[in-house]
Amino acid sequence: MIDTIETIGKDSVIQHGKHNDRVYLMKLAPLDVHLVIAELMTLALNNGYSKIFCKVPKNLAPLFFANGYLMEAQIPRFYNDELDVFFVSKFLNSDRLLNIENDQLLILSDLLSIEKDQTNKTIPEPPQFEIRLLNKSNIEQITSIYRKVFKSYPFPIFNADYILKTMKEDVQYYGIEKAGKLIALSSAEIDFKTRNAEMTDFATHPNHSGNNLSSLLLQEMEIQMKKQNINTLYTIARLNSVAMNKTFLKNNYHYSGTLIKNTNIAGNIESMNIYYKHL
């Protein structure tokens, strides 16, 4: 089951479908705001979705609050190192707010209490590894690793055509190879116009877990983003993945909120944490 990505209004982009049981406003064109708010609600009601999740500029957030949205997270200086972004949601079914992962939230609280001087220093790249930008010749290996790691995912990363399409749309995939074979990868979804990038799609082949490969990838992507004049980096990380939360915290990312029951990943709809870093 794959959710649909489409454009509404002049240039606003949404994802919606039963897989994530939500409407996700991925990009808002400011002139579309009133139309978009109405369309999101109509779409959700007509399809019985239980959540509407939106990424909106700070100055337009009050219009969403007036329509029953709650703020779940925010990132300062997100757009062009100036304007904040708010992550706001509207819950259309009370069940979406029930059975929250309380044990994991307690673990997160403990992680956030770690002193900064306990964070990791730069991890040296082992000589047997090569980290590099991937291209279309690597797509078969990319989808193979994603299929091994995830039971489900909010976007169709198991599909070769989707990976190729995203490569053409400013998504850069980075990988770690050992003896010429891809063993871990991640991606940077770049918005060059507003100079931010999402650090996402981290996956390590099960045979190579426990080697800090996600941190190595993250450090390399940060270097490459800085070279491309990207100012703000962020991620939407699984609350249930202690390892990924540690990876971002140890690399000096700031926690800024939790998205409740937001994303279908690893076979279930899970809560997600927002982290960000300014370069």
**Residue 74, C-beta contacts closer than 8 angstroms, at least 6 positions apart:** 58, 84, 85, 86, 87, 256, 257, 274
Domain of residue 239 covers 116-278
* Last residue of one domain, picked from the residues 77, 92, 107: 92
Residues 176-230: tens digit of each pLDDT: 999 999 999 999 999 999 999 999 999 999 999 888 999 999 999 999 999 999 9
| 208 domain-assigned | yes
Same domain, 64 and 124: no
**91: part of which helix (H) or strand (E)?**
strand 83-91
DSSP codes, 10-21: TTEEEEEETTTT
Residues (pLDDT < 70) of the chain are 115-122, 124-125, 127
Contacts 24+ apart (CB under 8 A), 3-8: 3/154, 3/155, 8/32, 8/35, 8/36, 8/39
Strands 83-91 and 268-278: unpaired
Q: Residue 142: which CATH number? A: 3.40.630.30
The reply to whether 25 and 136 lie within a common domain is: no
pTM for this predicted structure: 0.93
Quick check: is 102 in a domain?
A: no
In 10 A of CB 218, how many CB atoms? Answer: 26
What residues contact residue 156 under an 8 Å CB cut-off, 6+ apart?
Answer: 2, 162
Number of compact structural domains in the chain: 2
